[in-house]
């Protein structure tokens, strides 16, 4: 599984390994080209397939990375350099990203493949809207930030003490792989999580393919190419099957032949930390948290759908028969456009309610601290409840409405779209939904979700 950025809408979409090797939280070409980072960082070609209403190539100022750069430029924030990690720890602090979110990936599906192996995995750190990629022996730190207006945008920063911290925006090269909707007349950049083929009899995928992963994917098909710490117990039947902590297919032919992975096969599903696989002192923690991975898969799935809704709604309103002025309310949207918009927004409604998410057939346990920190982030209602409350037994969240309804990108959707989505959320919670979503939620859970919304989202306060 690999965190990458490019557009696909079908589950388990296959793509050539050559494409996989240039598509992951990455800004620059791999191997020899990495030496030219001075020349390449900050250069970017225009996004020539963009929606004219979105202006993706224009300024992207509704994201956490851009806002931090303004504070660095003004002197309001100063980053601290450390000999071991450079600016990394200070950057995470400034971006409000906790190191316990660390997930480690060793599949070579990044532009910095020359530096990634089973012994030197790439670290991903994240919060609700920003992702940071750190690779050993590289002086490039990578960023992907969810911009409330244009979706995911990419930045790179030289991690060198002799250069001032500068997060330059990157564009065209990233979107060569991170957007394949462009064949439909306009691209939708997005975030993806991938599972790479592993050297295991249960993995029948071909060597030159990788699979898209989200919360609809069976656990048994996740985490190929990722390290995993924590415990996943399958309903008293022992640890559940998955592809984490397994050697990649074909790795025996490389210098880093996966020997450490093979030597620990007997305990790969029951690891409090990753000591034994590689030198964990090179990272901020010695873990790659299974709960963080589960949250990551859900979060990126919903973020991609929010971005797609934003792009497609603008396209619908840009047609020849579109209204002359931008609608302010759902009632002002002509019926023909309403039908098209509903088709785009209904998958988001389903994802928000975990309608197609596979169950967790057992119990998940971790020791990194991510579980506690994630739940504490809130917001909470007067009873202390939150959409971030984790269950980790049978399902990931206690209350099955995504915490992404609190995100800046969701709440920046056009007012008429939010009106429709809010209405659909209330239909489900009232039991009036006719699509089957409400049927999958017990009445007590729906009431709990309604109370949390009323206590944490102002526009729901008067609609309880």
The mean per-residue pLDDT over the stretch 400-415 comes to 98
Does the residue 327 lie in any domain?
A: yes
The mean-pLDDT minimum among 34-38, 154-158, 388-392 falls in 34-38
Per-residue pLDDT at 270: 76
CA-based diameter of the chain, in Å? 66
The mean per-residue pLDDT over the stretch 6-33 comes to 32
Q: What is the pLDDT of residues 159-201, one digit of tens each?
A: 999 999 999 997 666 665 666 554 444 567 888 899 999 988 8
Per-residue pLDDT at 295: 98
Residue 349 has pLDDT above 60, yes or no: yes
DSSP character string of 41-77: TT-----TT--TTT-TTS---SSHHHHHHHHHHHTS-
Does the residue 98 lie in any domain?
A: no
Per-residue pLDDT at 170: 79
Q: What is the pLDDT of residues 433-447, one digit of tens each?
A: 999 999 999 999 999
Kindly tell me the burial class for residue 238, based on how many C-beta atoms sit within 10 Å of its own C-beta (0-12, 13-18, 19 or more): exposed
Q: Mean pLDDT of all residues in the chain?
A: 84
pTM of the predicted protein model: 0.88
Nearest to 399 by CA among 384, 387, 409, 381: 387
Does the residue 426 lie in any domain?
A: yes
More confident residue, 378 or 353: 353
Does the residue 85 lie in any domain?
A: no
Does the residue 209 lie in any domain?
A: no
Domain count, the chain: 1
Given its phi and psi angles, is residue 185 left (phi above 0), alpha (psi -120 to 50 degrees) or beta? left
Does the residue 125 lie in any domain?
A: no
Beta carbons of 197 and 224 less than 8 angstroms apart: yes
- SS3 for 90-152 is HHHHHCCCCHHHCEEECCCCCCCHHHCCCCCCEEEEECCCEEEEECCCCCEEEEEEEECCCEE
Per-residue pLDDT at 33: 31
The mean-pLDDT minimum among 128-137, 229-238, 273-282 falls in 229-238
- Domain residues for 419? 290-461
Does the residue 439 lie in any domain?
A: yes
Per-residue pLDDT at 456: 97
Residue 101 has pLDDT above 90, yes or no: yes
Q: What is the pLDDT of residues 67-93, one digit of tens each?
A: 999 999 999 999 999 999 999 999 999
Does the residue 409 lie in any domain?
A: yes
The mean per-residue pLDDT over the stretch 24-49 comes to 37
More confident residue, 326 or 398: 398
Residue 365 has pLDDT above 60, yes or no: yes
Confidence of residue 211 (pLDDT cuts 50, 70, 90): confident
Compute the C-alpha angle 420/422/424, nearest 5°: 70
Per-residue pLDDT at 205: 83
């Amino acid at each position: 599984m690999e965190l990458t950025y490019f557009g696909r809408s079908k589950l388990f979409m296959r793509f050539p390994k050559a494409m996989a090797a240039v598509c992951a939280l990455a800004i620059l070409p791999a191997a020899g080209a990495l030496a030219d980072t001075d020349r390449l960082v900050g250069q970017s070609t225009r996004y020539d397939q963009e929606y004219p209403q979105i202006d993706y190539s224009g300024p992207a100022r509704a994201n956490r990375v851009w806002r931090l750069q303004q504070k660095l430029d003004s002197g309001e924030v100063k980053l601290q350099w450390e000999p071991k990690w450079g600016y990394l720890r200070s950057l995470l602090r400034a971006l409000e990203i906790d190191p316990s979110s660390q997930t480690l990936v060793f599949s070579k599906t990044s532009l910095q493949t020359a530096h990634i192996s089973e012994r030197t995995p790439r670290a991903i750190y994240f919060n609700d809207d920003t992702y940071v990629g750190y690779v050993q022996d590289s002086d490039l730190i990578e960023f992907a930030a969810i911009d409330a207006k244009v979706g995911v945008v990419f930045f790179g920063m030289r991690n060198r003490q002799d250069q001032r911290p500068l997060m330059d925006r990157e564009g065209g090269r990233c979107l060569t792989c991170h957007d394949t909707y462009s064949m439909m007349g306009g691209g939708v950049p997005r975030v993806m999580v991938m599972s790479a083929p592993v050297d295991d009899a249960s993995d029948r995928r071909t060597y030159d393919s990788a699979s898209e992963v989200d919360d609809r994917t069976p656990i048994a098909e996740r985490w190929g190419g990722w390290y995993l710490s924590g415990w996943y117990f399958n309903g008293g039947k022992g640890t559940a099957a998955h592809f984490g902590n397994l050697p990649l297919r074909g790795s025996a032919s490389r210098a880093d032949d996966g020997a450490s992975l093979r030597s620990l096969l007997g305990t790969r599903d029951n690891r409090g930390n990753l000591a034994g696989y590689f030198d964990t002192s090179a990272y901020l923690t010695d873990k790659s948290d299974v709960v963080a991975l589960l949250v990551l898969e859900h979060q990126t799935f919903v973020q991609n759908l929010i971005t797609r809704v934003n792009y497609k709604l603008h396209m619908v309103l840009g047609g020849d028969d579109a209204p002359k002025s931008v609608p302010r309310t759902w009632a002002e949207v002509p019926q023909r456009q309403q039908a098209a918009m509903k088709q785009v927004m209904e998958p988001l409604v389903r994802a928000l309610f975990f309608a197609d998410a596979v169950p967790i057939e057992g119990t998940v346990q971790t020791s990194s601290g991510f579980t506690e920190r994630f739940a504490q982030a809130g917001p909470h209602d007067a009873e202390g409840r939150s959409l971030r409350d984790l269950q980790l037994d049978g399902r990931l969240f206690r209350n099955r409405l995504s915490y992404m309804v609190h995100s800046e990108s969701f709440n920046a959707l056009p007012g008429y779209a939010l009106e429709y989505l809010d209405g659909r959320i209330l239909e489900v919670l009232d039991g009036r939904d006719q699509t089957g979503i409400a049927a999958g939620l017990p009445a007590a859970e729906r009431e709990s979700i309604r109370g949390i919304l009323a206590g944490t989202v102002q526009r729901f306060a008067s609609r309880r």
